[in-house]
Amino acid sequence: MFASVMENEADVFYRELPKVELHAHLNGSVSSQTIEKLIVRKPHLNIEHSMTAIGKGQRRTLDECFQVFKVIHQLVDTEEDILMVATDVIKEFAADGVKYLELRSTPREEKNTGLSKKGYVETIIKAIQQCKNEGEDIDVRFLVAIDRRNGTEVAMETVKLAEEFMLSSGGLVVGLDLSGDPTVGHGKDLLPALQRAKNCGLKLSLHLSELEESDLLLNLPPDRIGHGTFLHPEVGGSQSLVDKVVKNNIPLELCLTSNVKGQTVPSYSKHHFEYWYQLGHPSVICTDDKGVFCTDLSKEYQLAASTFGLSREAVWKLSQQAIDCIFAPDTVKQQLRQKWVDLQPQQQTCNDNVETSV
């Protein structure tokens, strides 16, 4: 009984902890409830829940994870679908205590439904504005994503689209994400597009893998790094890569459950969060794909605390420092910092309370 009360009290702390989410793929963040609504709309696809999520204790290869996304893309192929999905995802993050969210997604066109890439981005912006008008307590921005599998020409088109929306969206489109299967293509072919994005004022968040292109892409340099699973020497990276990241003070977006379930790290205890955290390097806990990996940001913070013995005071500080890494302007950072001050519990309630179990 006592353990149960303690657990519930811990759950409340993490749920109420104000949080920043900087690495959330829209389609991967779709919850089982929203998937159910999509499945009902499209019974002819014969899609089941088990095809769209990776449950507790399950693991998948990176290739199998990408297959899950293909199934979700089949369910989300109209502006109406995108509006519902984006609205639901934003509201779920808000309900989980997320105060600032950067969503990312690759613009897609579907000739069968008349969906265009421009319409895709416009609909996500519409969803962001709709949630704001409905009074959701969350500031949402959008990163237009380049899927590296689509090649150099499409990458440049995506940058031009992102430029257009950076100027026309009233500050909602703030940057560019590079993602997709890391085994396809080479980063050097995408450099012209990424350089153009940087030159026009778009912020860059790049998924970096274990391949030799990491060194090349770090020379840009990016404004943030997604995952960075293989950067440090203990896991096949190099000290020179670490030095570049540290020298440029490039924050890392770290996604514990995603990396464990996707088998890019062997276990939670061996996650590279500890390496960067011990260095005192800017590290932001994120979900990656909360729907696919059956998690939320509260759970990810709780996992980090229990795995690495963080006190609640340390957890609060980790959450607060994430504000420094957002792509929105300084005025937004100042507003968020004030919000954290207003929401901070009394010092004695979060002091030296170390989590030992989730």
Q: What is the DSSP string of 134-166?
A: TT-S-EEEEEEEEEGGGHHHHHHHHHHHHHHHH
CATH code for the domain in which residue 257 is found: 3.20.20.140
* Residues contacting 223, CB < 8 A, separation 6+: 175, 203, 204, 205, 250, 251, 327
Return the DSSP state at 97: T
H/E element holding 226? strand 224-227
Whole-number Å distance between alpha carbons of 211 and 238: 12
Note if the bond before 221 is cis, omega within 30 degrees. Answer: yes
Question: Is the distance from CB of 179 to CB of 209 less than 8 angstroms?
Answer: no
Domain membership flag for residue 245: yes
Q: What is the pLDDT of residues 146-204, one digit of tens each?
A: 999 999 999 999 999 999 999 999 999 999 999 988 788 788 899 999 999 999 999 99
Choosing from 136, 157, 164, 210, the catalytic residue is 210
Domain membership flag for residue 356: no
Residue 20's closest CA among 88, 107, 96? 96
Q: Which domain holds residue 334?
A: 2-350
pLDDT tier at 3, thresholds 50, 70, 90: very low
Mean pLDDT of the chain: 90
Domain membership flag for residue 28: yes
**Residue 75 burial (10 A CB sphere; 0-12, 13-18, 19+):** buried
Residue 246's closest CA among 259, 231, 264? 231
Helix axes 330-343, 312-321, angle to 10 degrees: 160
Distance of CA 207 to the CA centre of its chain: 11
Domain membership flag for residue 143: yes
Average pLDDT over residues 68-80: 88
Domain membership flag for residue 7: yes
* Tally of domains in the chain: 1
pLDDT of residue 150: 93
Question: Is the distance from CB of 300 to CB of 257 less than 8 angstroms?
Answer: yes
- Per DSSP, the chain holds a count of helices (H) and strands (E) of 15, 8
Is the predicted pLDDT of residue 72 greater than 90, yes or no? no
Residue 48 is among the residues annotated as catalytic for this protein: no
Whole-number Å distance between alpha carbons of 328 and 57: 36
Percent residues over pLDDT 90 in the chain: 72
* Residues contacting 109, CB < 8 A, separation 6+: 115, 116, 117, 120
pLDDT of residue 7: 57
- Is the C-alpha dihedral spanning 12, 94, 204, 268 positive or negative? positive
Whole-number Å distance between alpha carbons of 287 and 33: 18
Domain membership flag for residue 357: no
Please identify which residue in the block is written with the tokens 């989590």. 355
Is residue 26 classed as helix, strand or coil in its secondary structure?
coil
Is the predicted pLDDT of residue 358 greater than 80, yes or no? no
pLDDT of residue 1: 43
pLDDT of residue 205: 98
Is the predicted pLDDT of residue 236 greater than 90, yes or no? no
Domain membership flag for residue 358: no
Q: What is the pLDDT of residues 284-307, one digit of tens each?
A: 999 999 999 999 999 999 999 999
Cα-Cα-Cα-Cα dihedral of 159, 160, 163, 169, to 10°?
-110
Domain membership flag for residue 30: yes
Q: What is the pLDDT of residues 4-18, one digit of tens each?
A: 445 587 789 999 999
Question: Is the distance from CB of 270 to CB of 261 less than 8 angstroms?
Answer: no
Q: What is the pLDDT of residues 113-131, one digit of tens each?
A: 999 999 999 999 999 999 9
Whole-number Å distance between alpha carbons of 163 and 57: 41
Is residue 216 classed as helix, strand or coil in its secondary structure?
helix
Pick from 53-57, 112-116, 217-221: least confident:
53-57
Looking at the chain, how many residues does it have?
358
Distance of CA 109 to the CA centre of its chain: 23
pLDDT of residue 354: 59
Is the predicted pLDDT of residue 63 greater than 90, yes or no? no
